[in-house]
Structure 1
Amino acid sequence: MNSLDRTLLSRFFVFSLVFIINGYMDAAVNTVRITEKSGITTANYPVQLGRPFLKGEITNYPQVLINGSPIVTQTNVMQRYDDGSVKHAILCFLIPVLEANSAINVTFQDQSTGNDANYLTKQQMLDSSYDFNAIMELTNGTTVSASARTMLNDDHFTYWLKGPVATSVIFADHSINRTYDIGFDSCKSIRPIFHATFWPGLHKVRLRFIGEVSNTEVFQDQRYSLALKTGNSSPQEVFFQDTITHYAGTRWTKEFWLGEEPSTIDIDYNIAYLAETRFIPNYDTTKVISESAIASEYTTWTNAQKGLYAQGNWNKSMPAGGGRPDIGPYPDWTVKWLYTGDHRMREKALGNADLAGAWSMHFREGNANKIFLLDSTVPGIGKVLSIHARPTVWLDPNRLTWYEQDQEDRITIVGANTVGGWIPDCAHQAETYSPQYFLTGDFWYLEQLYFWVSWSAANSNGGGGSSAVGRGPTGAEGGINNQIRGQAWALRTRANAAFVAPDDHIEKRYFETILDGALAIWEGARNITGTPFENNVCWTWGHDKWLEAYGVPSLNQWEIGGANFAQIQYGIDTSIVQIAESNFEQHFMMFALGRAEELGYPTAPLGSYLAVNYTGQLTNPDYNPYLVSNGRIPTVKKNGEQFSSWAELKTGYVSEWQATDSFYLSNAVHGYEFLALAAVSYISDEPGGDSAWAFMEREVLTAEVLSNNPKWAIVPRMDGPYSALNKTTGPNKDMYLTVNPNPFNPMVNIWLNNDQRNTMRTVRIFTVKGELVADLAATIENTNRTVFHYTWNAGNMPSSIYIVKARIADRTFTRKITLLR
């Protein structure tokens, strides 16, 4: 090798550039950043980290590197891709030294073993060095109690995580024997559950107490005072609450450490990488949430009531109208946690998720004769309720005794059954648990997710299969019969649960089966043909019952709607319109269909059907695209005929709305234009979808309010089903931003093509925190003044993701670059 070759090779390894162009997502680097926030230096700091991985990245097991140095990593792999590579794993490791107020970079490499042997045995967990016990004491006249140590001694435990770094165990008896169930009558309706994670290197234990009233066979409210104690040799009371009403169908939890709790840390999970794995939607990572926004969000949590059955930041009545922070792809606080990794947002996201157990949405099968999954022999007992086991059950709190339920499907109610103002539904249901699970690896959040999806699947009239009010011909099929928003949110959470569930969990197959059933019914109801579902039992039922009852809107609205939606307060001209549909709820549906498809589920035919409506709303020259922000959309005229053209549909609005030429752009929590933004991000590969997205990108994505609340700031993906930004287009379109790196030096070349001469143009480079790095000037332009060349010398910049923002007149285009040294 000559000296020139060595020089070039040296430069290549010192500094390389990784690019994907013409899109919002690039090949994000898989890094996590941990920052100590309490001002305490700790040796052997314990970390349990849930981590998704890109396909092919980790062949065997991931190993953690701290600032580039590998450390012992226990890996419990929960999911693998079809090529065998790791999809999701829970990693346990000890940071050798975490200095006060310091930050460390965590990266990952492949290792041949998961270090998941040599986990603690029963006898080792009973060792006096742990002083292990967790005790619940419940008092209502008499005192009843439950002990985790007793369950351990009796061998009533299962392993969740195995290995020498951390052994995580679940203590419970979900069998027909119900050995440890307690209460104040012979029914013993309260089930005590304990989770314990032992850290042998520290001789510490993280404890979670769980109390639930969920058994389908002994369903009733319970009242008691509660004391929680930790330790064995001299148990210490760590929590007390007087006079609790434990509502039937609800769960509570509290978490403590045996031994000193570790200091507070931020964990920046790297939202760009998470989005690339598809475990979360493709959020616009150019948004930067300010410290003041985080502090304000946290204040609402610190000021909230947080005792058992306190409402935290929830509206206890889900059906209450109006937009609010918990409605969306995820609640506001969860999105801010994803963006920042800030410990305050983590505390709020996990704390509210814990309190959400207060909704009566938790039903655990208690009948030993029930089968969990059709065409299987898997028993249902101890698992979340399955509509395969109870096809006609209806779990709405007001419908538990509904007359159309078969007797063998009913919940056995043995006492008072109230909800204390905690009223659940599907139409306003938050996605409370999937990020909480896959980022922490905490089984509590996974099982909570299972409970909520189980409840939503049974929250309709399973016995109504002879008409369109059912959920399929027998009730076991999984049809989602609800308001449009209820359909959307049930689909969203069902798809998310199926996607994150561990490979060996039977719940994954169940969720996928009922998801297919719902999609087939919807396809049949819209007479969508040529798909694998066509003419199957569910498709035929949807075709015969829903299509016959409701018909298909001529302009591809999701549903015909109802006369109650033809509302003058929404700007509907009621002298012309007889029936309208909820347009903002349809935005939820378009988002949910797109989200399910990017997770790999077969929603594409339904998404293509509904996308036609959005391209019409946003690109038809006879319509006004700003009407997409109206909460209603007409479907049927006063004469009973459907609107048949976009020009005709426009007349269904009053003149002020027909002439509107802007969006409000002030309500990032629930502004309808922002809902539409997230919806339209999933249609960019549909005919006309690229133009529809370009309009929303220009008019809505740049709104300043999205920076501090980017809940709806979702953008098209470069790859997969939504790849319009990766398509080749002609030379005189709006803009191309291409980056042509030389891998042997740090010069970045940016070419900006634009056919509008003499317009304002800027190209600026920012860090992901929003700090300006470079303001570039064009150095070369072609003779027609339509091609402009910008260069950026990145030689002094550290490895990171950088944001390229190009502005042409009033339009802004954003791309990302990953620099790797």
Structure 2
Amino acid sequence: MPVTFGQPFKAGDWLHTTQGLVAQVGGATIPLQADEISSHRDGSARFAVLSAQLSNVQPGEARIINIFPGAKVNSTPSVPASPDWNLELEAQVYDANGNVTATLVAQPQSQLVTQIASTTGRRLAGAVATEYTVALPFKNKATGTPHPHLSARLHTRLTDGGQRIRTDVVMENTRTWTASPGNITYSFAVKRNGSTIYTQPKFTHYHHARWHKVLWTGSLAEPKARVRHNMPYFMASKAVWNYDLNIQIPASVLDNDYSRLTKARADQAALGPMGNVMVEPYFPMTGGRDDIGPYPRWTVNYLLSQDSSALEVMLANADAAAAVNTHYRDEATGYPLDLDRYPNVSITPEWSSPVLPAVVDGTTIWTPDVAHQSSFAYVPYLVTGDTFYLDEMMFWTAWNAATPNPGYRGAGLGLAIDNQVRGQAWAMRSLGETYRALPDNHPRKSYFDNRLKVNLDWYAKVYPLNPSAATLYPLNALPKPDQQDVTGPWQNDYFGIVMAQLAENNEPNAYTTLAWISKFNVGRFNAEAQGFCTAYAAGYYFSTRNSSNNPYTSWRDLFQANFPGETCNTGMVIAGYPASSDGYAASARAALASAFNGGITDAGSTYAKWRAMTPAMDADMSRNPTWAIVPRP
């Protein structure tokens, strides 16, 4: 039975340039196929897509796979020259009156045969699994004319000598420069050797969106295996924040989420693959939400439980995010829109040069933004290793960079600054995730690496390395971009959480900026002797300047300006919803723990103090562990 999965690695554990990997399974040692390797800054492996061939696995049996460095050996692909794949994709396109206007087809077999012979478009390559990405347009069945917008990408994985074929069928309406982009209404079918194996009833495919469906074909059955990671090691790799593994997610919480997923699928059936599932379609919606945080609540639920239903919920929501109209693929490169080629492009027409083609019939359920954006696809990619989720990360990161006004984002620099502070945090999170996930040999690796470095350099120069910063920001709080005399402590916490993860992964200048902002993020919890009551540290917004527009230079002045007449005492009501797992007091906990993990030593004791001041929150963390980041051992 073949199994393929993603695996992060601690820095220094696997020197992949000189070592291979082996697995010990039930007393037997077998080679591991490793592909799509991404390296830490020190050159050791950070992440890889691993494939193994397991023998004599019985139904319901659990196997422990222990992974070790071993001798480096070649894993030679074994695939037939012309696999028994023979898929045909067919779409019936409808007009606004419900009439069929065209039948579109895509026949990828000959292209796969060509790619096998030339080894082009090959992603995985080894004795266990070999995967090709076959990209092709749809053509009018009657005339042979390619459709201007609808296309398919088939991530085709052959195992067992081609006797099992896994095809991730990705349908895209993502072209950037082709005239008249818009929604497309169609029904869809996949046929194999003339027999229909999958159908999707009529629905409307939104512009600049995509969806996918995984199909297994071949003479051998789909290998139905579940991979559960060693989560302490997974966390220790620093691929993700260090969540509290002592938290047990109750079955009732997982069951409720799965019930919500089932209901959402039923309620949104008419939308087909464009349904939002549990993702908030109106991103600017205020208030606490399941999708807002370092990771969405459903993703943390999976990390802490690795429950099968939690996995399905996480992947369903990641798939739903693909339906958001944020997916712009450049026809010239085959990759998401980039600012090297178009430094002054913007998704907003009045800011863009050149201007993107006007959308025709573009109504969707979605209103995306950066300030309320989730990490949709990163953890799904880490656990599955699927190309679909890797591409999703690139699309979202590219959209984040291309959305702001070029005049404010530094044109081709793509600076995250043209956002709310929380938007800057989430844009930097997306950028860091994409850079870390992309394989070293990916054509876009250096592009996203440069974007990350440019942004981190900018923050370092404007704040910690700026000689004027001490005068402009004496307490090291990031101001609201649209209101320079106000700061949002919780938004500073979000920014600190992301910067800490970048610092943990040794990204240049990340620690420099983290240390600077930690004067505010950590310092405000330790300034009671200087006149700032700790109970109010997790506030909503603070005024940072006096009536003469001069910044407050002491903790006492900041406190008195915002809480006049208050004096610190043990009976003070703690701000920021201290009993709730999703309030500002909770995100402050996450920021303190993250800062410690990023190298700010006094953040550890500050976290312990703040946790002791907010004990009622702990009981609520199992209901919602979104902010349950803890100091690393």
Check whether TM > 0.5: yes
For 1:291, the equivalent position in structure 2 comes to 251
What is the aligned counterpart of 2:607 among 671, 693, 702?
Answer: 693
Change (3 A) 1:70 1:201: farther
Query: Is the contact made by 2:130 and 2:157 (CA closer than 8 Å) also made in structure 1?
Result: yes
Q: Tell me how far 1:561 sits from its aligned partner.
A: 5.7
Aligned residue number for residue 460 of structure 2 = 523
Distance 1:68 1:339, change over 3 A: farther
The residue number in structure 1 matching 2:103 is 143
Which of residues 350, 354, 357 in structure 2 aligns to 1:412? 357
Identify the residue that residue 98 of structure 2 maps to in structure 1. Answer: none
Question: Match for 1:471: what amino acid?
Answer: R
Q: CA deviation at 1:433?
A: 1.2
Change in CA separation of 1:215 and 1:161 when aligned onto 2, cut-off 3 Å: same
Q: For 1:584, which of 452, 477, 490 is the aligned residue?
A: 490
1:357-389 deviation per Cα after TM superposition (whole angstroms, max 9, x unaligned): 11111111124xxxxxxxxxxxxx111111111
Please report how far the alpha carbon of residue 179 of structure 1 lies from its aligned counterpart in structure 2 after TM superposition: 8.3
Partner of 1:388: 340
Which residue in 2 is equivalent to 1:680? Answer: 592
Equivalent-residue separation in structure 2 for 1:498 and 1:661 (angstroms) = 43
1:40-55 equivalent positions in 2, closer than 5 A? 44=1, 46-55=2-11
What's the CA shift for 1:236?
1.4
| Counterpart among 535, 560, 563 of residue 653 in structure 1 | 563
Change (3 A) 1:261 1:630: farther
Q: Does 1:239 align with 2:151?
A: no
Whole-Å Cα distance in 1 between the matches of residues 464 and 514 of structure 2? Answer: 14
* Counterpart in the other structure of 1:483: 420
1:77 Cα deviation (Å)? 5.1
Compute the TM-score of the two structures, normalised by the length of structure 2.
0.88
Residue in 2 that maps onto 1:609? 516
Question: Contact between 2:536 and 2:574, CA under 8 Å: does it hold in 1?
Answer: no
Partner SS, residue 595 of structure 2: coil
Partner of 1:744: none
- Counterpart for residue 371 of structure 2: 427
Q: How does 1:526-565 map to 2 (within 5 A)?
A: 526=463, 528-529=465-466, 552-559=472-479
How many Å apart are 1:665 and its aligned residue?
Answer: 3.9
Instruction: Summarize the Cα distance change of 1:70–1:411 in structure 2 as closer, same or farther, 3 Å threshold.
Output: same
Specify whether residues 560 and 460 from structure 1 end up closer, same or farther in structure 2 by C-alpha distance, changes over 3 A only: closer
Q: How does 1:567-646 map to 2 (within 5 A)?
A: 579-601=485-507, 602-621=509-528, 622-646=531-555
Q: Which has the higher helix share?
A: 2
Give the match for residue 97 of structure 2. none
Structure 1 residues 289 and 527, CA gap change in structure 2 (3 angstroms): closer
CA contact (8 A) 1:328 1:711 kept: yes
Work out whether residues 222 and 245 of structure 1, in 8 Å CA contact, stay in contact via their aligned partners in 2.
Answer: yes
Report if the CA contact (8 A) 1:334-1:349 is conserved: yes
Which amino acid in the other structure matches residue 79 of structure 2?
Answer: L
**Which secondary structure does the structure 2 equivalent of 1:225 belong to?**
strand
Query: Hey, what does 1:67 align to over in structure 2?
Result: 26
1:353 maps onto 2:283 in alignment: no
Residues 221, 245 of structure 1: 8 Å contact kept: no
**One-letter amino acid of the structure 2 residue matched with residue 406 of structure 1:** S
Whole-Å Cα distance in 1 between the matches of residues 395 and 279 of structure 2?
Answer: 18
- AA matched with 2:282: S
Q: Match of 1:667?
A: 580
Identity score, percent: 24
Q: Name the residue aligned to 2:409.
A: 471
Structure 1 gaps of 5+ residues are 1-43, 368-380, 465-469, 531-542, 566-578, 719-821
Q: Give, as a single letter, the amino acid of the residue that structure 2 aligns with 1:50.
A: G
* Corresponding residue of 1:440: 384
Q: 1:71 to 1:145 in 2, by over 3 A?
A: same
| Aligned amino acid, residue 647 of structure 1 | R
Q: C-alpha deviations, 1:683-724, integer Å up to 9, x for none?
A: 335474344222123234771111343221212335xxxxxx
Partner of 1:714: 629
Corresponding residue SS for 1:386: coil
- Tell me whether 590-599 or 93-102 shows the greater mean CA deviation: 93-102
Instruction: Give, as a single letter, the amino acid of the residue that structure 1 aligns with 2:516.
Output: Y
In 2, the alpha carbon distance for the partners of 1:434 and 1:114 equals: 30
Which of 57, 60, 78 pairs up with 2:13? 57
- From 133, 142, 158, give the equivalent of 1:170: 133
CA displacement at 1:452 relative to structure 2: 0.7
2:525–2:606 contact (8 Å) kept in structure 1: yes
Cα distance, 1:272 vs structure 2: 1.1
SS of structure 2 residue aligned to 1:91: strand
SS in 1 for 2:290: coil
Whether the 8 Å CA contact 2:33–2:52 is kept in 1: the answer is yes
Counterpart of 1:629, as a letter, is A
Equivalent in the alignment of 1:540: none
On the 8 A contact 1:364/1:384 being kept in 2, the answer is yes
- Give the partner amino acid of 2:589: L
Match of 1:703 in 2: 618
Residue pair 2:38, 2:436 contacting (<8 A) in 1 also: no
1:1-40 alignment, distance < 5 Å? none
Q: Deviations over 1:529-555 (max 9, x none)?
A: 49xxxxxxxxxxxx8xxx8xx983332
Look up the match of 1:325: 290
User: 8 Å contact 1:68–1:107 — kept in the other structure?
Assistant: no
Query: Distance in 2 between the 1:284 and 1:300 partners?
Result: 25
Q: Structure 1's 261 and 449: CA in aligned 2 closer, same or farther, altered over 3 A?
A: farther
Structure of higher CA gyration radius: 1
- Name which of 139, 146, 159 aligns with 2:122: 159
Secondary structure of the 1:98 match is coil
Match of 2:621, as an amino acid? L
Q: Which amino acid aligns with 1:405?
A: S
* CA distance in 1: counterparts of 2:165 and 2:306, whole angstroms: 24
What is the aligned partner in structure 2 of residue 279 from structure 1? 239
Which of the residues 129, 133, 148 maps onto 2:87? 133
Do the aligned partners of residues 165 and 687 (structure 1) sit closer, same or farther apart at CA in structure 2, a change above 3 Å counting?
closer
Three-state SS of the structure 2 residue aligned to 1:555 is: coil
User: 1:83/1:486 Cα in 2 relative to 1: closer, same or farther (>3 Å)?
Assistant: closer
More divergent stretch after superposition (54-63 vs 489-498): 54-63
Partner of 2:175: 215
Look up the SS of the partner of 1:358 in the other structure.
Answer: coil
Q: C-alpha distance in 2, partners of 1:181/1:471? A: 42
Q: How does 1:374-385 map to 2 (within 5 A)?
A: 381-385=333-337
Pair 598,184 (structure 1): closer, same or farther in 2 beyond 3 Å: farther
CA-CA distance at 1:275 after TM superposition: 1.4
Tell me the CA shift for residue 69 of structure 1. 2.2
Give the distance between the partners of 2:104 and 2:523, measured in 1 at CA.
64
Q: Which amino acid aligns with 2:7?
A: R
Say if 1:267 and 1:341, in contact at 8 Å, map to a contact too. Answer: no
Cα-to-partner distance string for 1:463-506 (whole Å, 9 max, x where unaligned): x1xxxxx112x443534310011000000110111112101123
Letter paired with 1:120: V
Change (3 A) 1:136 1:330: farther
CA contact (8 A) 2:36 2:123 kept: no
Question: Is residue 80–residue 86 contact of structure 1 (8 Å, CA) maintained in 2?
Answer: yes
Deviation at 1:458, TM superposition (A): 1.2
